[in-house]
């Protein structure tokens, strides 16, 4: 019981000192305690309450008098308070009335202060935005004046420096959205400018190339002049078309001493003078800044490849004029000059590997085009101009570092074609010369005319009579042919110039081409000339004389080539001219044609023969046709006096042999069935005239009766029948000393049978005369013996 009292006091102390919100646990402890603890706690609580009430009452009693005094004083103050309230109310009213204006002004001040603060804020913000707006305005202005590269730089500054400061503003977002569009616009515009640039250089390529080739040719001419003056080799030419000529060469150019070059020298144009390259630079920079440089490079190269294919495609009629070739070369040179310029002024847009690849592709196409179109050229002058253009074209591009060896190899192919066109042209010239020639010796009235002739042709004859007028042995075609051969050598030399070949190679080319002219063209013209129907014996004789003099002139052509090339004929690899064989072959052909035409003429006279093979007696004189033939032969052989002796002798022997053979064939003709003794006698008179002609030595140089031997077969045959010496013939047959050694048994048998038939028909009553019967028997006996000889010969063979 005593223990619970302190516990209750503790609980009461906690209740008094604890917040009412925390009383619950304390009260719960009252109910959790011993039984009847609640009752005892309530009792203790009542006791505590009574104690507090007593304390309150003591305090009230202690302060009651003061309270009463205060109330009394307060009642006294009430009246003063009422007065004070009235005064305060009045003062407040008057104060409120007086403060209305102050309030109004204060509100105005507040409003102004707010505006000032807002203005300050706006100014601060504007100061932050103005640079952005100024940069954007600058960007717009740069776009308007087409300064796109600067515009891109401005965009970069806007994005990196200015726009982040004002990114919270709406206009900034609009700007941010517009910048990619502006970039695309710049890309499109710059690409459009690039397309215009590509179109421009496509149009100006021929002008650029023409200028470059002109400068290359002038530089080469000038260097050649300097080399001749100072014997200085300036090495490879460098040209000023793209402004990359070394300074010393400008100084040399400025010090030209040749007046003509000073007068006609034009201002050197560069690629910049003809084409504005700024679009390609600008576009390259723009795409590089935009990080799309590779796209631009691929596009540029693709478009240039397309343009290259267009440039390399020639016109179908290019081969007809030199202007077509010049325009073709100018466009190609212009194309690669531009590429070379781009290569050296930009980094990475065009590389050396790219230009080399493009050039190799172009070079293959160029060579194929030139092979095709040059094959259509039939004019050597056009081929020569084409060669000169190719040389200038090659030299120009070589000056820009492009390899051109294949072009010079192509020139050797074109050179063969050039020679072919020259050969065709000179074949026409030779034909015209031969057609215009009168095939008679050249008349020379005085020494001046003689000097004119020998100035054209190296004619030398120490035995020639110096008196005038006179005739030179050759005809007009000889000096003309000689001059044309020299002209051919000059024409062939023109192609060999500027091919960067040694004198030995040029000498070899000249000699080979001249050999072709002599052995093929001139030889063919001579052969055709000799075979022409209207060329008679006189003309053939003159042709032989002409070829003899042309053959002698070959050594002068050798010297002529040597003087041009300064290559001695004694050099091991020096080719020789084959003119000797050419003219010998032509001479042999002419000689053969002389023999043929003589025989043809003899045949024409033989066809005029009109023998009466059954005549009883001869006319007592030679036949008219034969006398005409002999007169023709005499006059013809007189023309042969200028021919070499062997030619005239061979022609004369051939004619006599052919005449003998023709007469023999006439006797033995199978169509001729019978021959009388009178016809044989007449035939004998004709053969006698032939023998007299042969013995008269129509052509000098025959020994003894050599020419008469051509008629020996006829003579022995006719003597056998005229003398009727069959016993001697048959007895001596086969003996080397036989009088009728050249009489063949078959020939004698054929003629004897023709005479036997005639004897039978003309002597009907011969069987009644003893002599005639004996003769007939003799003939039959001789025929049998001859047949036995013929049969023996056939069995022996």
CB 550 within 8 A of CB 430: no
Q: Is the pLDDT of residue 480 over 90?
A: yes
Q: What is the pLDDT of residue 226?
A: 78
Q: Which of 213-227, 271-285, 479-493, 683-697 has the lowest average pLDDT?
A: 271-285
Helices (H), 458-502: 477-496
> What average pLDDT does the segment 492-518 reach?
83
The pLDDT tens digits of the residues spanning 43-76 come to 888 888 888 888 888 888 888 888 888 888 888 8
> 654 with 598: CB under 8 angstroms?
yes
For residue 604, name the pLDDT band (cuts at 50, 70, 90): very high
What is the rounded end-to-end Cα distance, in angstroms, of the chain? 194
Q: Name the average pLDDT for the chain.
A: 82
Of residues 493, 484, 409, 475, the one with CA closest to residue 439? 475
Q: Which of 184-188, 220-224, 313-317 has the lowest mean pLDDT?
A: 220-224
Instruction: From 631, 687, 643, select the one nearest 662 (Cα to Cα).
Output: 687
Q: Which helix (H) or strand (E) holds 442?
A: strand 442-444
Lowest pLDDT segment from 212-221, 274-283, 381-390: 274-283
Please name the residues in contact with 31: beta carbons below 8 A apart, sequence gap of 6 or more: 37, 38
Tens of pLDDT, residues 251-275: 323 333 334 444 444 455 566 667 7
pLDDT of residue 572: 45
Percent of the chain that is helix, strand, coil (3-state, to 5): 75, 0, 20
pLDDT at 570: 62
Give mean pLDDT, residues 227-247: 43
Contacts of 368 (CB under 8 A, 6+ apart): none
Q: What is the DSSP string of 267-333?
A: PPP-HHHHS--HHHHHHHHHHHHTT-HHHHHHHHHHHHHHHHHHHHS--TTGGG-HHHHHHHHHHHH
Going by pLDDT thresholds of 50, 70 and 90, the confidence category of residue 468 is: confident
Q: Is the pLDDT of residue 766 over 60?
A: no
In eight-state DSSP terms, residue 441 is: P
pLDDT at 556 over 90: no
Average pLDDT over residues 330-357: 86
Could you read off the pLDDT of 273-318 as tens digits, one per residue? 677 787 778 788 788 877 777 888 888 888 888 888 888 888 888 8
Residue 463: per-residue pLDDT = 56
Half-sphere exposure of 34 (CA within 13 A, CB side): 10
Answer whether 0.85 is exceeded by the pTM.
no
pLDDT at 645: 64
- Mean pLDDT for 164-173 is 82
Query: Comparing 38-42, 175-179, 207-211, 306-310, which segment has the lowest mean pLDDT?
Result: 38-42
- Check pLDDT > 70 for residue 462: no
Q: What is the mean pLDDT of residues 183-205?
A: 82
Better-scored residue on pLDDT, 135 or 319: 135
Return the SS3 of 470: strand
Task: Choose the weakest-confidence range: 261-275, 389-403, 547-561.
Answer: 261-275
**pLDDT of res. 254:** 32
What HEC string does 556-598 produce?
HHHHHHHHHHCCCCCCCCCCCCCHHHHHHHHHHHHHHHHHHHH
158-162, 273-277, 406-410, 426-430: the lowest-pLDDT one: 273-277
Residue 321 has pLDDT above 90, yes or no: no
Best mean pLDDT range from 15-29, 465-479, 670-684 = 670-684
Q: What is the mean pLDDT of residues 407-413?
A: 85
What per-residue confidence (pLDDT) applies to 682? 92
How much of the chain, in percent, has pLDDT values that exceed 90?
14
Give the model's confidence band at 1: pLDDT under 50 very low, under 70 low, under 90 confident, else very high.
Answer: very low
Look up residue 608 and give its two tokens.
Answer: 């005029």
> Of the ranges 18-27, 34-43, 208-217, 677-686, which one carries the lowest mean pLDDT score?
18-27
Q: Is 443 helix (H, G, I), strand (E, B) or coil?
A: strand
Nearest to 281, CA basis, from 167, 194, 199? 194
Given a cut of 80, whether residue 499 has pLDDT beyond it is no
Query: Strand locations in 153-247, DSSP E?
Result: none
- Which residue in this structure is represented by tokens 């003062």? 91
Average pLDDT over residues 611-619: 88
User: In the structure encoding, which two tokens stand for residue 305, read together?
Assistant: 């490849």
Q: Is the pLDDT of residue 516 over 80?
A: yes
Whether 721 shows a pLDDT value over 80: the answer reads: yes
For residue 34, pLDDT over 80 is answered with no
> 479: buried, middle or exposed (CB in 10 Å: 19+, 13-18, 0-12)?
buried
Least Cα distance to 340 among 253, 228, 243, 258 occurs for 243
> What is the C-alpha separation between 30 and 72, in angstroms, rounded?
49
Can you give the pLDDT at residue 261?
42
């Amino acid at each position: 019981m005593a223990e619970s009292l302190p516990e209750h006091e503790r609980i009461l102390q906690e209740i008094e000192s604890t917040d009412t919100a925390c009383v619950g646990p304390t009260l719960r402890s009252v109910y959790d305690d011993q039984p009847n603890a609640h009752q005892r706690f309530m009792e203790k609580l009542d006791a505590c309450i009574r104690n507090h009430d007593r304390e309150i009452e003591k305090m009230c009693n202690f302060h009651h008098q003061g309270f009463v005094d205060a109330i009394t004083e307060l009642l006294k103050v009430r009246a003063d308070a009422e007065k004070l309230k009235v005064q305060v109310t009045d003062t407040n009213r008057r104060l409120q009335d007086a403060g209305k204006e102050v309030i109004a002004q204060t509100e105005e001040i507040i409003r102004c202060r707010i505006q000032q603060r807002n203005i300050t804020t706006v100014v601060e913000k504007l100061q932050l935005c103005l640079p952005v707006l100024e940069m954007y305005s600058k960007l717009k202005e740069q776009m308007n004046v087409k300064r796109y590269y600067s515009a891109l730089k401005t965009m970069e500054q806007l994005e990196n420096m200015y726009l982040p400061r004002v990114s919270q503003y709406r206009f900034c977002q609009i700007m941010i959205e517009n910048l990619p569009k502006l970039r695309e616009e710049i890309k499109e515009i710059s690409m459009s400018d690039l397309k215009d640039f590509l179109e421009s250089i496509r149009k100006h390529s021929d002008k650029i190339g023409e200028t470059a080739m002109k400068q290359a040719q002038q530089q080469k001419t000038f260097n050649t002049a300097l080399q001749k003056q100072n014997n200085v080799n300036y090495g490879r030419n460098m040209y000023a078309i793209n402004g990359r000529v070394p300074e010393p060469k400008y100084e040399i150019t400025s010090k030209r001493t040749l007046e003509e070059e000073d007068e006609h020298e034009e201002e050197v144009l560069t690629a910049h003078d003809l084409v504005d390259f700024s679009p390609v630079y600008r576009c390259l920079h723009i795409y590089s800044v935009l990080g799309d440089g590779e796209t631009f490079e691929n596009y540029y190269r693709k478009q240039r490849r397309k343009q290259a294919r267009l440039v390399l495609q020639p016109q179908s009629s290019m081969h007809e004029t030199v202007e077509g070739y010049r325009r073709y070369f100018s466009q190609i040179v212009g194309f690669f000059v531009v590429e070379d310029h781009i290569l050296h002024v930009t980094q990475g847009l065009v590389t050396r590997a790219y230009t080399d690849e493009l050039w190799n592709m172009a070079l293959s196409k160029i060579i194929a085009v030139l092979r095709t179109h040059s094959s259509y050229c039939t004019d050597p002058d056009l081929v020569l101009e084409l060669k000169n253009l190719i040389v200038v074209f090659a030299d120009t591009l070589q000056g820009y570092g492009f390899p051109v060896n294949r072009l010079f190899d192509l020139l050797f192919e074109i050179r063969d074609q050039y020679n072919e066109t020259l050969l065709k042209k000179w074949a026409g010239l030779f034909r015209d010369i031969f057609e215009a020639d009168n095939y008679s010796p050249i008349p020379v009235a005085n020494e001046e005319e003689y000097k004119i002739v020998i100035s054209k042709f190296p004619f030398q004859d120490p035995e020639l009579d110096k008196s005038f007028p006179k005739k030179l042995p050759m005809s007009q075609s000889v000096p003309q042919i000689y001059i044309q051969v020299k002209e051919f050598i000059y024409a062939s030399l023109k192609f060999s110039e500027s091919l960067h070949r040694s004198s030995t190679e040029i000498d070899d080319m000249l000699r080979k081409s001249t050999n072709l002219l002599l052995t093929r063209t001139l030889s063919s013209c001579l052969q055709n000339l000799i075979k022409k129907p209207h060329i008679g014996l006189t003309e053939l004789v003159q042709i032989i004389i002409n070829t003899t003099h042309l053959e002698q002139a070959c050594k002068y052509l050798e010297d002529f080539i040597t003087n041009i090339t300064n290559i001695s004929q004694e050099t091991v690899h020096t080719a020789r001219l084959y003119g000797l064989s050419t003219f010998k072959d032509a001479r042999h052909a002419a000689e053969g044609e002389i023999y043929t035409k003589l025989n043809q003429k003899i045949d024409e006279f033989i066809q005029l023969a009109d023998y009466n093979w059954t005549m009883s007696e001869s006319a007592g004189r030679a036949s008219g046709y034969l006398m005409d033939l002999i007169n023709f032969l005499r006059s013809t052989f007189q023309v042969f006096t200028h021919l070499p002796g062997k030619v005239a002798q061979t022609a004369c022997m051939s004619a006599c042999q052919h005449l003998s053979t023709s007469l023999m064939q006439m006797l033995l003709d199978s169509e001729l069935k019978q021959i009388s003794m009178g016809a044989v006698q007449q035939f004998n008179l004709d053969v006698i005239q032939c023998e007299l002609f042969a013995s008269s030595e129509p052509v000098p140089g025959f020994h003894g009766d050599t020419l008469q031997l051509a008629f020996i077969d006829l003579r022995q045959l006719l003597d056998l029948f005229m003398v009727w010496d069959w016993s001697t013939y048959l007895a001596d047959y086969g003996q080397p000393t036989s009088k009728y050694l050249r009489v063949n048994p078959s020939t004698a048998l054929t003629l004897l049978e023709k005479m036997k038939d005639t004897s039978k028909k003309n002597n009907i009553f011969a069987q009644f005369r003893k002599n005639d019967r004996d003769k007939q028997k003799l003939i039959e006996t001789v025929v049998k013996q001859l047949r036995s000889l013929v049969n023996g010969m056939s069995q022996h063979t």
